[in-house]
Amino acid sequence: MYSNAGIEATEVIGMADEKKNDIPEKGAVVQRDRETYAIAPDTPAGVVSPDTLRKIADVSEKYGAAAIKITSAQRMVIVGLKEEDIDSAWNDLEMSPGAAIGLCVRSVKICPGTTFCKRGIADSLGLGLALHGEYHGMNLPAKFKIGVSGCPNCCGESWVKDLGFFGFKKGFKVVVGGEAGKKPRIAQELTYVESIDDAKKVARSVFDYYTANAKPKERIGDFIDRIGFEEFTKGVL
């Protein structure tokens, strides 16, 4: 007598193995349960209006999100969305996705600087927002993080970013090659700039040289180690 028990068992195993993955084109990151997703609206510098906060809360509540998580990249992530609700959630938010995944400029972490902080001595918010507007989401050989701090206290974590800036009264020190991941490292001092426009020019030069010469998925710190800091400096400045 024919039995389909073996076929059914195989189908069940196959279904169990079909785990969901990130959906980069929708800015959706699969969660630990491999069933639900998180989305991260772009909130430059983590500075938002009360209306934006209400909208994020309303969308989270409407689609039964598990939580709203504030991240180290100064974003508010809506966690625990069903796959079928992702498009509707984005439509309701009317916001662009933050570059939370992919080989690109993932984030620009920015301290309040002279805009808000009593200890700020440079316009880190102005520089950080300019860099965010110009480069956030830009494709690069590997993921890339930027930190901008308004004083040497370095609240933007500039020393442990791929590219960092921190302010003095007459400009910004530029550091490069930092990381706070599996291989933590302190960035190296690259140069000093006197204006936001000059800082943007240095950033563009770093991106261009890195893109032209790094290997796929090679973080900029590893790239600098491979070619030497002196050679990197010659190529960038």
Query: Quick check: is 181 in a domain?
Result: yes
Q: What is the pLDDT of residues 131-144, one digit of tens each?
A: 999 999 999 999 99
Residues 44, 157, single domain; the answer is: no
Query: Quick check: is 154 in a domain?
Result: yes
Percent of the chain with pLDDT over 70: 92
| Cα–Cα dist 70/30, whole Å | 17
Residues 144, 75, single domain; the answer is: no
Task: Examine the fold and report which residue of 40, 59, 93 is the final residue of a domain before the chain moves on.
Answer: 93
Q: Flag whether pLDDT at 97 surpasses 50.
A: yes
Which of residues 89 and 17 earns the better pLDDT score?
89
User: Across all residues in the chain, what is the average pLDDT?
Assistant: 93
Residue 106 is classified by DSSP as E
Task: Examine the fold and report which residue of 37, 70, 93 is the final residue of a domain before the chain moves on.
Answer: 93
Residues 167, 58, single domain; the answer is: no
- Characterize 8-31 residue by residue with b for buried, 16 or more Cβ atoms within 10 angstroms of its Cβ, and e for exposed: eeeeeeeeeeeeeeeeeeebbbbe
The pLDDT of residue 102 is: 92
The total of structural domains in the chain comes to 2
| Cα–Cα dist 73/91, whole Å | 23
Grouping H, G, I as helix, E, B as strand and the rest as coil, residue 2 is: coil
Residues 221, 137, single domain; the answer is: yes
pLDDT band at 17 (very low <50, low <70, confident <90, very high): low
Q: What is the pLDDT of residues 28-43, one digit of tens each?
A: 999 999 999 999 999 9
Give the domain CATH number at 34: 3.90.480.10
On whether the CB atoms of residues 119 and 151 are closer than 8 A, the answer is yes
The pLDDT of residue 6 is: 47
The pLDDT of residue 85 is: 98
pLDDT band at 182 (very low <50, low <70, confident <90, very high): confident
Query: Quick check: is 4 in a domain?
Result: no
Domain that holds residue 45: 16-93
Q: Flag whether pLDDT at 5 surpasses 70.
A: no
Q: What are phi and psi of 157, to 5 degrees?
A: 55, 40
On whether the CB atoms of residues 148 and 111 are closer than 8 A, the answer is yes
Residues 148, 197, single domain; the answer is: yes
| Cα–Cα dist 161/146, whole Å | 5
Residue 139 is classified by DSSP as B
Residues 36, 116, single domain; the answer is: no
pLDDT band at 183 (very low <50, low <70, confident <90, very high): confident
Grouping H, G, I as helix, E, B as strand and the rest as coil, residue 88 is: helix
Q: What are phi and psi of 228, to 5 degrees?
A: 95, 140
Q: If you average pLDDT over residues 15-36, what whole number do you get? A: 86
Q: If you average pLDDT over residues 192-196, what whole number do you get? A: 95
Q: Flag whether pLDDT at 15 surpasses 80.
A: no
Percent of the chain with pLDDT over 90: 90
Kindly write down the DSSP assignment for every residue of 153-171, as one continuous string. Answer: T-TT-GGGSSEEEEEETTE
pLDDT band at 2 (very low <50, low <70, confident <90, very high): very low
| Cα–Cα dist 140/173, whole Å | 23
Q: If you average pLDDT over residues 41-64, what whole number do you get? A: 97
Q: Flag whether pLDDT at 191 surpasses 50.
A: yes
Residues 146, 30, single domain; the answer is: no
Q: Flag whether pLDDT at 192 surpasses 60.
A: yes
Q: If you average pLDDT over residues 170-188, what whole number do you get? A: 95
Residues 83, 124, single domain; the answer is: no
Query: Quick check: is 8 in a domain?
Result: no
Query: Quick check: is 5 in a domain?
Result: no
Give the sheet arrangement for strand 67-70, strand by strand: 28-30, 37-39, 76-81, 67-70
Give the domain CATH number at 155: 3.30.413.10
The pLDDT of residue 181 is: 84
Q: How many Cβ atoms from other residues are within 10 Å of residue 192's Cβ? A: 13
